[in-house]
Amino acid sequence: MKKILLLGTGGTIASEMSPDGLTPELGPQQLLRYVPAVSQLCEVDCLSLFSIDSTNITPAHWMRITRVLRERYDDYDGFVISHGTDTMAYTAAALSYLVQGAKKPIVITGAQKPINYDSTDSKLNLTDAFTCACSELIHGVCIVFSGRVILGTRARKTCSKSFAAFSSINYPELAQLHDHRLMSYIEPDYLPAPRFYEEMDEKVGLVKMIPGTDSELLDFLLRRKDALVVECFGVGGLPSYDNDLLFDTVRRYTDEGRFLVMTTQVQNEGSDLSVYEVGHRLKSNRRVLEAYDMTSEAALAKIMWILGQTRDADEVARLFYTPVSHDILYRG
């Protein structure tokens, strides 16, 4: 029988009602009592890392999870992380870069309703997560939710209340589960031994362009950040507004050593800066990177990981365009 480590981090799945709304209260051992069928699948050890609303997750929490995975990796056959849904896709993306090439499953799950609710989705998701953690066909970081197995670099929360909360963006689902039976479609790649990373640059921001965005916003953020992910319109580009102030701001700060990652607010199909003049004129700037079909969550986590390793512009670009866990397919 396989041995799995359940890591608790809080979130809705572990919440109980308080006078101020839902608050994480239950530890992983308490969660396990609601899914007795798991004891027929595997042996489980439990470890509570923290108990917070996932809205409060920071990169420091990602690093703490990574340290535990590194320290306990040889002791277990797989890992399940119970997590809140609101930032789950960010955590899945971050862990995909901090723990690369793992053969063992690192499964993140949670719920839209607390586990002690009659109408909860928690029990289904938690049991499915353990099913995947015991599988020989699931490798590395993934999200298991509402019967779907989604690569960690491709997940996004697309529904705020529905049980089918997560979608796989620009990449197929790895597998589905029906009545806790796993139907695997794609077996993820893995390395002979995982690579763990201990550094991320937290001074990375994300901004969503709106009609009329002025250069002062980019100036404010780039003055304080080492890199900025910009969610553009359509296939991507910066508005000129007849004054080129946005382009001038980008040029000034990239000349000083900052990086921009251009992506799109459109969920599917990705960016292509070469299509329009407003995007094409950015292509010659080697400190402006293009996310193409990556999710914003993955692009953000990837540049944080890269800048934790190097600041050399050529090496940053090389690493950004090198696929990690199928995070990028189209590269110009």
Instruction: Tell me the pLDDT tens digit for each residue of 182-213.
Output: 999 999 999 999 999 999 999 999 999 999 99
Q: Is 12 designated active site?
A: yes
| Residue 156 confidence (pLDDT) | 98
pLDDT score for 133? 98
Tell me the pLDDT band of 331, cut-offs 50, 70 and 90: confident
Which of 9, 12, 263, 264 is an active site residue?
12
In contact, 266 and 237? CB cutoff 8 Å:
no
Q: How far apart are CA 191 and CA 210, in angstroms?
A: 42
Q: Is the pLDDT of residue 49 over 80?
A: yes
Full-model pTM = 0.96
Q: What's the CATH code, domain 2-196?
A: 3.40.50.1170
- pLDDT at residue 332, as a whole number: 64
**Residue range(s) of every CATH 3.40.50.40 domain in the chain:** 204-321
**Cβ distance 316 to 277 under 8 Å?**
no
For the domain spanning 204-321, the CATH number is 3.40.50.40
Q: Kindly tell me if the per-residue pLDDT of 69 is higher than 80.
A: yes
Rounded to 10 degrees, the C-alpha dihedral 308/314/317/322 comes to -90
In this structure, which amino acid lies at residue 305? W
User: What distance in Å separates the CA atoms of residue 166 and residue 159, rounded to the nearest whole number?
Assistant: 7
Q: What is the mean pLDDT of the chain?
A: 95
Which residues of the chain form CATH 3.40.50.1170? 2-196
